[in-house]
Amino acid sequence: MRKRQIIIDCDPGLDDAVALLAAFAASDMLDLVGITTVAGNVRAELTQRNARIIRELAGRGREIPVCAGAPAPLLRDAVTAEAFHGSTGLGNIAFPRPRVRASRAHAVNFLIRTLRAGKGFPLTLVMTGPMTNLALALSMAPDITEGLEEIVVMGGADSEGGNITPYAEFNVFADPHAAAAVFRCGVAMRVLNLDVTHQIRTSDDQIARVRALGSKQAVAAADLLAASNRLEESAKGREAPLHDPSTILCLLRPDLFEGRQATVRVVTEEGERFGQTVPDYREDGHVLWYNQADADAVFSEMLGQIARYGE
């Protein structure tokens, strides 16, 4: 069976880092051809550094390029989330400095070149941060949609409300104009939004099961998940949702998630609803808006993937 070729566009970020570890582990099913980074959870120079840290932690090197991308949103002022992810973006965990440099290619150019080359065998783009890079690529080269099989996004919210404002989820709020462009592009999308990710929370006991796997990658994943829990509990008094890893887990086990077809509008007008996603549920919609997940089975899938580092 042909592996699914994927690009991960991300802003690591504690949960982005766990998503990357899961993707690297699933190399029998996922062919990760590149990582593009964007400003979001922390500044752009840190997101590309963090992606390189996780790449080397997973035992991978130059064969999977890390390409730094947009340092700021399209139109709005930049927002970041150091209060949640720590000043480094990785919870101030002491990881070794990455040895392998980032690619010289800009993330937007990498996306254009790779997606154009993928027209015969379209790729999946997994997006776990603001959507600035893809919006820029679509503006420069609209034909790249032919090289996209689907886009899998962590972002947005409907019934759950927002996590950065009462209405907006962080990744969309950080660049709503980019998100609006991506949702309009017509490519099939799956959206892991707060309606579903808030159902998937990782308890301290579950984190202990990850740590007990014993590999350096499992211990790092446990440290990242524990940092997320500490920060979520201090801010909101509850366990942290498994936001970004859900994108990888739904590629591996789509049967664990349920949703409804929709089209999605993003509020780009200034005001209290700025950055809100508004799904219009309709059978002919190109967006699968997830709203249910088997949380225990999703965690078990993640645990199984992280366990592969010890094999």
* C-alpha span between 173 and 166 (Å, rounded): 11
**pLDDT tens, 84-119?**
788 899 999 999 999 999 999 999 999 999 999 988
What's the pLDDT score for residue 237? 56
Closest CA to 89 of 43, 21, 145, 155: 43
Contact between residue 191 and residue 264 where contact means Cβ atoms under 8 Å apart: yes
Average pLDDT over every residue of 61-90: 91
For domain 4-310, give the fold. Inosine-uridine Nucleoside N-ribohydrolase; Chain A (3.90.245)
**pLDDT tens, 135-152?**
999 999 999 999 999 999
Average pLDDT over every residue of 53-82: 94
**pLDDT tens, 199-258?**
999 999 999 999 999 999 999 999 999 999 988 776 665 689 999 999 999 999 999 999
Catalytic annotation, pick one of 85, 177, 198, 243: 243
Q: What tokens does 94 get?
A: 């002491």
* C-alpha span between 112 and 123 (Å, rounded): 12
**Is-catalytic flag, 243?**
yes
Closest CA to 57 of 5, 99, 9: 99
* Phi, psi of 46, deg, nearest 5: -85, -35
**pLDDT tens, 172-199?**
999 999 999 999 999 999 999 999 999 9
What's the pLDDT score for residue 61? 80
Closest CA to 90 of 190, 224, 203: 224
What's the pLDDT score for residue 228? 93
Average pLDDT, the chain: 95
pLDDT of 1 > 80? The answer is no
Element at 227 (helix H, strand E): helix 216-236
Average pLDDT over every residue of 39-51: 97
% of the chain beyond a pLDDT of 70:
98
| Helical segments of 81-213, H only | 82-85, 107-117, 132-140, 170-174, 176-184, 194-197, 204-211
* C-alpha span between 224 and 300 (Å, rounded): 17
What's the pLDDT score for residue 73? 98
Closest CA to 191 of 164, 151, 138: 151
pTM: 0.97
The alpha carbon dihedral of 158, 160, 166, 170 has a sign of: negative
What's the pLDDT score for residue 83? 79
What's the pLDDT score for residue 51? 98
